[in-house]
Amino acid sequence: MALALDDIVSRCQEALVEHTPALAMRDVLDELVADPSALEGAVGPVERGGISTIHNADDLTILRVAWTPGMAINPHEHRTWAVIGMYGGQEDNAFYRRAAGGLEPAGGREVPAGDVLLLGDDVIHSVANSRREFAVALHVYGGDFFAIERSEWDFGTYQERPRDMARTQQLFDDANARWLAGEPGRELEGDRRG
Ligand SMILES: [Fe+2]
């Protein structure tokens, strides 16, 4: 039987009641990303970069995030564990630690399709898609991704400010516009809005 969105949600909810939920979630995502076509069948194809909410509750958020080619998202924290299961393209993660006046870089990790990245609740990271294809992943958080009060940092100055999802949406909109403008051969129906 084909994978359904409900199956994804119920498998994640089962992991949530395990003794070590984040590790159990990593196992669930390891299994899911092993069959990317089944995941795409359940979640739907990527038409443009953005965040699609699959499930959002106080204790669990499941998103499908597609980073537009050439896009980078500034440093931010989640204040809950996060498990990223890549199933298309690649995310380039950069990590940071708090430092006087802002942040200092603390390494990074490339996460190609098929890989799962587990982030602890104090992680600060930025994400870039340096490839010419969408970077597509399930992002699972052990809390309400949209409600938790948390910080982001400016890419240039590392100045801390409250997490601003409208600003993030603008990054997606700008990246999508650049991507479409640079690809005149692409199908544009439905993507161009007056
Ligand atoms: Fe993140």
Centre of ligand 1 from the C-alpha of residue 76, in Å: 6
Positions of E strands within the chain: 50-56, 61-67, 72-77, 82-88, 90-99, 102-112, 116-119, 124-128, 135-141, 151-153, 160-162
Centre of ligand 1 from the C-alpha of residue 84, in Å: 9
Centre of ligand 1 from the C-alpha of residue 1, in Å: 32
Centre of ligand 1 from the C-alpha of residue 10, in Å: 23
Query: CB-based burial of residue 142 (10 Å sphere; 0-12 exposed, 13-18 middle, 19+ buried)?
Result: buried
Centre of ligand 1 from the C-alpha of residue 158, in Å: 16
Centre of ligand 1 from the C-alpha of residue 122, in Å: 11
- What band does 101 get if pLDDT is binned at 50, 70 and 90? confident
Centre of ligand 1 from the C-alpha of residue 194, in Å: 31
pLDDT tens-digit map of 102-117: 999 999 999 999 999 9
Total-model pTM:
0.91
Centre of ligand 1 from the C-alpha of residue 116, in Å: 13
pLDDT tens-digit map of 159-180: 999 999 999 999 999 999 999 9
Centre of ligand 1 from the C-alpha of residue 35, in Å: 23
pLDDT value for 183 = 63
pLDDT tens-digit map of 140-154: 999 999 999 999 999
Centre of ligand 1 from the C-alpha of residue 112, in Å: 16
User: What count of residues does the chain have?
Assistant: 194
Using alpha carbons, select from 33, 30, 160, 20 the residue that is nearest to residue 81.
Answer: 20
Q: Is the pLDDT of residue 191 over 70?
A: no
Q: Percentage of the chain with pLDDT > 70?
A: 94
Centre of ligand 1 from the C-alpha of residue 72, in Å: 11
Centre of ligand 1 from the C-alpha of residue 152, in Å: 10
pLDDT tens-digit map of 3-46: 999 999 999 999 999 999 999 999 999 999 999 999 999 999 99
Residue 170 CB neighbour total at 10 angstroms: 11
